[in-house]
Amino acid sequence: MTISHADFIAGIAKGLAVLESFDTERQRLNATLAAQRAGLTRAAARRHLLTLEHLGYLETDGSYFWLSAKVLRFSGSYLASARLPRLIQPTLNRLAAQTGESLSAVVLDGDQVVIIGRGGSSRMLAYGLHLGARLPAHATSTGRVLLAAKSRSDFQAWMKGRELPRLTSHTVVEPRQFKALIEEVRQQDHCVAHEQHELGVHAVAVPLRTMDGKTVAALNCVTSPDKLEERRLHQELLPLLLDAARELRALL
């Protein structure tokens, strides 16, 4: 959605850029680091950090700043009120009980996927795939499904000038190979990924579509090496996910 210059509030955009500069790589930032990450001057970054700390969204030791628990108000409100997570969660719970595996529902946000629904045992949740977790789209089964849902021109625009980080020795990072992989996912309408994001993690994913065919999310199942069988992925888990996607289509 476009917005007119008169309606755009630059201060809000800069404040959110400072909040988004905190991530798993950098949990604590000073004004210099925040400025570099948010694309601001050091003086502007310092003012935004101090304001956010005053409002309770950051904590500080006087030099470095870090996120406070108050930021969870946003994610908590989304998960409690958004329609998509509420519609998908019962299906995740059912599939987790049926398979004994870990299930996730995710949406695409730029070059990452965000988990909006989870189902599975505490043992499987130890992979750290918690609600709100962000993972690189190129190295996940769900991300590849959502990228394949883009039109070819939109996917080409997403790929333009992009470097794909190598996360394991198995991660596909060569552009031509990755484009071929996405085309294969587009044709098959599902994705199986082996140790692309993390060693020992194997996953299968399918798109979740509305009745008019728009892909709004992806559903996947993650399994561990001790339970991995290629036949089980294709003959047991994939059909269950496809059936669930068809059932959800009428609700989405």
116-145 residue pLDDT tens? 999 975 444 444 567 888 899 999 999 999
In this structure, what are the phi and psi dihedrals at residue 97, rounded to the nearest 5 degrees?
Answer: -70, -35
Contact 41, 17 (CB under 8 A): no
Task: Please give the model's pTM, rounded to 2 decimal places.
Answer: 0.80
Percent of the chain having pLDDT more than 70?
92
Query: Given pLDDT bands bounded at 50, 70 and 90, which one contains residue 1?
Result: low
pLDDT at 75: 79
Q: What structural domains and CATH numbers belong to the chain? A: 5-71 (1.10.10.10), 82-249 (3.30.450.40)
Task: Kindly report the number of other CB atoms within 10 A of residue 18's CB atom.
Answer: 27
Query: Residue 113 forms beta bridges with which residues?
Result: 108, 135
Written as six digits, the tokens of 235 are: 């003959």
C-alpha distances (whole Å) from 184 to each of 38, 52, 144, 147 are 36, 45, 10, 12
pLDDT tens, residue by residue, 22-81: 987 789 999 999 999 999 999 999 999 999 999 999 999 999 999 999 988 887 777 777
The single-letter DSSP state of residue 25 is S
Written as six digits, the tokens of 66 are: 């870090």
